[in-house]
Amino acid sequence: QDVLTVSCGCQDVLTVSCGCQDVLTVSCGCQDALTVSCGCQDVLTVSCGSQDVLTVSCGCQDVLTVSCGCQDVLTVSCGCQDVLTVSCGCPDVLTVSCGCQDVLTVSCGCQDVLTVSCVCQDVLTVSCGCQDVLTVSCGCQDVLTVSCGCQDVLTVSCGCKDVWTVSCGCKDVLTVSCGCQDVLTVSCGCQDVLTVSCGCQDVLTVSCGCQIEQQINVIVLFIPSGKTLVNPKN
């Protein structure tokens, strides 16, 4: 059954080959083409008035779709899920790469971006209207968060807990360094500061309304006689 049909006035062509379904159709007035090859499903479709294209290759699902009026594109590659989508009116882009989850999403009207990289979870999120950013790095929890309206920042570094927090409206700052507990706190309305340094307990406290400072240094001396001298100083 090898069939070729050409109609009058325009080129309406239908072809069906022997042994498998190789079909080509071209309609009148526009290019509506359908192709199905032998052995696997190789399909090409082009609709009238706009470029609506569907392609499915042999052995794996390689799909390309372009819709009418705007660029709606879907691509799925062979062996893994490589997906690219661009919607109409704004750039809504979704990409998933092979082997790992590399995802990029850009929403309409504002830059909402989500990225997840391969091997580890590197996540970046930027929300609409303000800069809400979340970042998680590979191997350890490096987290940066910036909230809308004020700078609320949280950072946790790798290997130790380095934490920095700045709250909205006043400077509430908490810092914890690596190896020892170096803590700095500044409260709202007045300067309440607490500092604990590494190796010894050097504490500075300034309370609200008046200046109260306290410093503690402990010195231990070992004398040849074997006795111990303890000398606290203010």
Q: What is the predicted pLDDT for the residue at 171?
A: 52
Q: How far apart are CA 203 and CA 201, in angstroms?
A: 6
* Cβ atoms within 10 Å, residue 79: 11
Strand boundaries in 127-166, DSSP class E: 133-136, 143-146, 153-156, 163-166
> Domain residue spans in the chain?
1-59
The answer to whether 176 and 163 are in contact (CB under 8 A) is yes
Q: What is the predicted pLDDT for the residue at 221?
A: 42
Please state the pTM of the whole predicted model.
0.20
User: What is the secondary structure of 31-56 as a DSSP string?
Assistant: --EEEE-SSS--EEEE-SSS--EEEE
Using only the alpha carbons of the chain, give its radius of gyration: 34
The answer to whether 44 and 51 are in contact (CB under 8 A) is no
Of 20-24, 68-72, 174-178, least confident by mean pLDDT is 68-72
Q: pLDDT tens digits for 221-231?
A: 444 454 444 54
- Residue 131 predicted with pLDDT over 50: no
Q: pLDDT tens digits for 157-170?
A: 444 454 554 444 45
The answer to whether 204 and 215 are in contact (CB under 8 A) is yes
> Is residue 219 classed exposed, middle or buried when 0-12, 13-18 and 19+ CB atoms within 10 A define those classes?
exposed
The answer to whether 157 and 176 are in contact (CB under 8 A) is no
Q: How far apart are CA 184 and CA 224, in angstroms?
A: 40
Partners of residue 76 on adjacent β-strands: 63, 83
